[in-house]
């Protein structure tokens, strides 16, 4: 089993190192090869997603990804920005189905800004379509940076679009995931305003007839944003488009106390996948050894379960994470009085110890 390891920028290198350590400790003989991506690749090769990195990712059974981005690249033209690396990987590998679970660990109930009773026991799954929508529609008004100055037209637009097959396949993913859970799907749209999302709603409704055992409801995205903080436990599986999913998944992540805890998986039709923490590269805390590696470690667990057919090993990692939380170990983002503050590396070491 071959894994492409792409740490990227900012805290990416620190957190991925801990996840790699945990994977090694399992002794599965995994073949892991690293490559540069994002700003780091731009610095070294002049492009955020060099051909060699893309090739490595394509040939691997799975990709373990850290994070990309840094404000210092804000003035680069869009095609060279670090974010293009993750978008390029998603598109080139056809990773259309993004799973973003939001689980509240009982040990962290108090780390959330919401009242404990609202989130205790929370376990929802956001399924975000990842290769369509306004992210990949035709843009206009792309400008070229010249000395940090952006000449060009005084208007810009991006195109929101979805095709029937794109909606159908993500709807199937959502209904099938719901079958393994509480058999409820909420499809989030903006059908009251946008043609794209009226179509989305119609197609999801059609697909739902093939899953009579799963309850489907529809919700406008603004209402969904509100319900997520009002009564998050009412949701089970949420399926939505790329843009709304980007926003709602950050919101859902924060319900659990820390975005530093949440893994994600992006899969294609062949179950080849890219696994990354839901959070970003956090350049403000990079290099300080204080980032939380648990989201990446849990992403490695998802990788074992979804792409490498090693569900038991995934369970082992998840149990080890719960153990270290029960031991009271906390990185800065989830620290509260009465717990023990540890560094990124100490957290990774603790997970390895509890595996053994």
Residue whose C-beta lies closest to ligand IPM:
83
CB 315, min distance to Mg ion, A:
28
Of 41, 20, 156, the residue nearest 89 (C-alpha):
41
Determine the distance from the C-alpha atom of residue 30 to the mean position of all C-alpha atoms in its chain, rounded to a whole number.
23
The answer to whether residue 246 is catalytic is yes
The answer to whether residue 222 is catalytic is yes
List the structure tokens of 25. Answer: 């400790």
CA distance linking residue 25 with residue 21, whole number of Å: 6
CB 192, min distance to Mg ion, A:
24
Quick one: which segment of 82-90, 187-195, 212-220, 292-300 binds ligand IPM (CB under 6 A)?
Answer: 82-90
Quick one: which segment of 80-88, 145-153, 167-175, 294-302 binds ligand IPM (CB under 6 A)?
Answer: 80-88
Contact 56, 5 (CB under 8 A): no
Taking the least distance from each CB to ligand IPM, the nearer of 246 and 346 is 246
Active-site residue (options: 74, 222, 284, 315): 222
Active-site residue (options: 61, 110, 123, 250): 250
Taking the least distance from each CB to ligand IPM, the nearer of 256 and 313 is 256
- The item of ligand IPM, Mg ion, none sharing an interface with residue 83, based on CB under 5 to 8 Å by kind, is ligand IPM
Active-site residue (options: 9, 105, 190, 236): 190
Contact 205, 171 (CB under 8 A): no
Of 322, 127, 333, 117, the residue nearest 232 (C-alpha):
117
CB 184, min distance to ligand IPM, A:
24
List the structure tokens of 249. Answer: 């998944």
CB 267, min distance to ligand IPM, A:
14
Looking at residues 50 to 69 of the shown chain, list those that interact with ligand IPM (rule: CB under 6 A). 69
Strands 123-129 and 329-330, bridge-based pairing: unpaired
Q: Residue with structure tokens 């490595």?
A: 56
Contact 101, 214 (CB under 8 A): no
- The item of ligand IPM, Mg ion, none sharing an interface with residue 86, based on CB under 5 to 8 Å by kind, is ligand IPM
Looking at residues 233 to 262 of the shown chain, list those that interact with Mg ion (rule: CB under 5 A). 246
Residues 6+ apart with CB under 8 A from 209: none
The answer to whether residue 189 is catalytic is no
User: Would you say the C-alpha torsion 50, 51, 54, 59 has a positive or negative sign?
Assistant: negative
CB 69, min distance to ligand IPM, A:
6
CA distance linking residue 217 with residue 248, whole number of Å: 17
Strand partners, 127: 99, 239
- The item of ligand IPM, Mg ion, none sharing an interface with residue 194, based on CB under 5 to 8 Å by kind, is none
List the structure tokens of 130. Answer: 């990842």
CB 128, min distance to ligand IPM, A:
8
- The item of ligand IPM, Mg ion, none sharing an interface with residue 32, based on CB under 5 to 8 Å by kind, is none
Strand partners, 264: 276
Contact 98, 40 (CB under 8 A): no
- DSSP secondary structure letter of residue 149: B
- The item of Mg ion, ligand IPM, none sharing an interface with residue 251, based on CB under 5 to 8 Å by kind, is none
Neighbours of 72 (CB within 10 A): 11
Strand partners, 330: 341
Quick one: which segment of 34-42, 79-87, 150-158, 163-171 binds ligand IPM (CB under 6 A)?
Answer: 79-87
Residue 232-271 contact track with ligand IPM, rule CB under 6 A, x = bound: --------------x-------------------------
The answer to whether residue 211 is catalytic is no
In whole angstroms, how far apart are CA 120 and each of 107, 126, 256, 259, 330? Answer: 10, 18, 9, 16, 19
Taking the least distance from each CB to ligand IPM, the nearer of 69 and 257 is 69
Contact positions vs ligand IPM (CB under 6 A): 69, 83, 86-87, 246
Contact positions vs Mg ion (CB under 5 A): 246
Which residues are catalytically annotated? 135, 190, 222, 246, 250
């Amino acid at each position: 089993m071959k894994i492409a390891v792409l740490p990227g920028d900012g805290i990416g290198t620190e957190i991925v190192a801990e996840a790699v350590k945990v994977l090694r400790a399992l002794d599965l003989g995994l073949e892991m090869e690293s490559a540069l991506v994002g700003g780091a690749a731009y610095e070294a090769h002049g492009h955020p997603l060099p051909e060699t990195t893309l090739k490595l990712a394509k040939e691997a059974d799975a990709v373990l990804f850290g994070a990309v981005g840094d404000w210092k690249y804000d003035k680069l033209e869009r095609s060279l920005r670090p974010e293009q690396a993750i978008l390029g990987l998603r598109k080139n590998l056809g990773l259309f189905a993004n799973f973003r679970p939001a689980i509240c660990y009982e040990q962290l109930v108090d780390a959330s800004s919401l009242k404990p009773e609202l989130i205790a026991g929370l376990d929802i799954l956001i399924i975000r379509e990842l290769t369509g929508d306004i992210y990949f529609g035709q843009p206009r008004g792309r400008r070229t940076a010249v000395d940090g100055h952006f000449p060009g037209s005084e208007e810009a637009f991006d195109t929101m679009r979805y095709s029937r097959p794109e909606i159908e396949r993500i709807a199937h993913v959502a209904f099938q995931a719901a079958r393994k859970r509480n058999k409820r799907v909420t499809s989030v749209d903006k059908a009251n305003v946008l043609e794209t999302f009226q179509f989305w709603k119609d197609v999801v409704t059609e697909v739902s007839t093939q899953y009579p055992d799963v309850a489907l409801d529809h919700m406008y995205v603004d209402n969904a944003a509100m319900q997520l903080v009002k009564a998050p436990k009412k949701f089970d599986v949420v399926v939505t488009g790329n843009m709304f999913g980007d926003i709602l998944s950050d919101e859902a992540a924060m319900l659990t106390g820390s975005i530093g805890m949440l893994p994600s998986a992006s899969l294609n039709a062949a179950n080849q996948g890219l696994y990354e923490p839901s959070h970003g590269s956090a350049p403000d805390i990079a290099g300080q050894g204080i980032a939380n590696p648990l989201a990446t470690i849990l992403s490695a667990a998802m990788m074992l379960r979804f792409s490498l057919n090693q569900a038991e090993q995934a369970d082992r990692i998840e149990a080890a994470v719960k153990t270290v939380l029960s031991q009271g170990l906390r990185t800065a983002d989830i620290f509260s009085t009465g717990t023990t503050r540890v560094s990124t590396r100490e957290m990774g070491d603790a997970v390895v110890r509890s595996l053994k």
